[in-house]
Amino acid sequence: MNLFQNTEIAFQHKTNSELKKARLLFKVLSLPAIAKFGNYLAKLALNLKLPVTWIIKPTIFNHFCGGETIDECLKVTEKLGKYNVKAILDYSVESSEKETERLAVRNETLRTIRSAATNSNVPFAVFKPTAFASTDLLTKASREDKLSVSEQLSLNSFRKHIHTLCKEGFQNNVPVLIDAEETFYQSIIDDIARDMMVLFNKKKAIVYNTLQMYRHDREEFLSQCLKDAIKENYFPGIKLVRGAYMERERLRAKKMGYPSPIHPDKESTDKAYNNAISFCIENINKISLFNGSHNEESCLHMIKLMEKHSIRRNDDRAYHSQLYGMSDHISFNLAREGYNVAKYLPYGPVKNTLPYLIRRAEENTSIAGQSGRELGLVETEIRRRKQLSKQF
């Protein structure tokens, strides 16, 4: 049996009724009508500001989110912690236009860092850079366009927010992950992330930048990161993901007539991803690796390499991560074997987490196919428990 097939370990934290609820959720998500209209209706409800909390909270929200506040999430982190599965509190309020709202997101993220500092079940903090500046501004800055005075001020404030968060992480010894979104405004984020690493990663990785390996330029970028880190004497934190914005990236490139930044097919993304894991593990004395993936093969690739290079399973420089509510068969089985695992645990007011939930629903519809795997695993475990109860 492969490591990830053990559904008893995978779902040990779920009661029978929680499992049945999960089965119902994935069944509903896999209905063709939901795949076709569900996301449209959810987006409509969001745009029209309809009161949909009563249906969303006890169902999809509870499955994929930790709660509405840090305190609510603490119950979940404690529960996961019993199985050696850690969590990362991800305040899921997406890009805002007003500086006061940005300040509120920054202050909430500071609270997650301080809370992580006193909670051994929470080893990282995380934020999305687009919470602190408009994507238009970041796009201009990434193209190195000339900025107006007010744009320059906004960019300074963006840089300051990121600096404040990374410094807080440094002072509290809590590593901070910087998420990645779309390619056309990533370059300014890469530059700032690198500056933060120079400042705060002198002794170990505190700041982690995200590399989306569906981009065909990221292997080269990773190799340059290491060269820069050796030259400037810092320890890079690298969060690897495949990347979540493929369709949008391809569509934009086609519409605007430039070459797509994305690998031509899944195989080349997979190859680049596993090459990047190999590169990080082979350079573990310098690089700290955070492997954000639900891909079994990539996770197995990483643990095999760790064994080959005699890296301790709980070495702080090697982490696996999956999203809360997904791929428990990977998280819980790896944690049981003594590997570092931390699940992204999104939280926030229900209406603000809707864009995140819509992305999860899209990923889990019958079209995208992920729900088939989740549903299959949940059903296997329900069957296993039923058989077991018959034996007594």
Ligand X SMILES: Cc1cc2nc3c(=O)[nH]c(=O)nc-3n(C[C@H](O)[C@H](O)[C@H](O)COP(=O)(O)OP(=O)(O)OC[C@H]3O[C@@H](n4cnc5c(N)ncnc54)[C@H](O)[C@@H]3O)c2cc1C
Binding site for ligand X (CB under 6 A): 179-180, 210, 212, 214, 241-246, 262-263, 265-266, 269, 292-295, 321-323, 344
Nearest to 202 by CA among 246, 248, 158, 170: 170
Q: How far is the CB of 341 from ligand X (least distance, A)?
A: 10
What residues does 176 pair with on adjacent strands?
125, 207
29 neighbors 59 (Cβ within 8 angstroms): no
* 151 vs 190, beta carbon nearer ligand X: 190
* 277 vs 390, beta carbon nearer ligand X: 277
Q: How far is the CB of 238 from ligand X (least distance, A)?
A: 12
* 283 vs 322, beta carbon nearer ligand X: 322
* 269 vs 364, beta carbon nearer ligand X: 269
Q: Can you tell me the distance from the alpha carbon of 140 to that of 125, in angstroms, rounded to the nearest whole number? A: 28
Q: How far is the CB of 220 from ligand X (least distance, A)?
A: 17
Q: How far is the CB of 179 from ligand X (least distance, A)?
A: 3
DSSP states of 8-64: HHHTTTS-HHHHHHHHHHHHHHTSHHIIIIIHHHHHHHHHTT---HHHHIIIIIHHH
Q: How far is the CB of 389 from ligand X (least distance, A)?
A: 33
Q: Can you tell me the distance from the alpha carbon of 194 to that of 179, in angstroms, rounded to the nearest whole number? A: 14
Q: Can you tell me the distance from the alpha carbon of 271 to that of 246, in angstroms, rounded to the nearest whole number? A: 16
* 38 vs 292, beta carbon nearer ligand X: 292
Q: Can you tell me the distance from the alpha carbon of 208 to that of 176, in angstroms, rounded to the nearest whole number? A: 6
166 neighbors 207 (Cβ within 8 angstroms): yes
The one-letter amino acid code at 300 reads: L
- Show the tokens assigned to 390: 């018959």
* 179 vs 381, beta carbon nearer ligand X: 179
Lookup result for tokens 């197995």: 300
Q: How far is the CB of 190 from ligand X (least distance, A)?
A: 13
Q: How far is the CB of 122 from ligand X (least distance, A)?
A: 14
φ/ψ bin of 390: left (φ > 0), alpha (ψ from -120 to 50), beta (otherwise):
alpha
* 242 vs 301, beta carbon nearer ligand X: 242
**DSSP state for residue 148 in the 8-state scheme:** P
Number of CB atoms found within 10 A of residue 208's CB:
27
* 58 vs 354, beta carbon nearer ligand X: 354
Q: How far is CA 126 from CA 42, 89, 149, in A?
A: 26, 7, 30
Q: How far is the CB of 239 from ligand X (least distance, A)?
A: 7
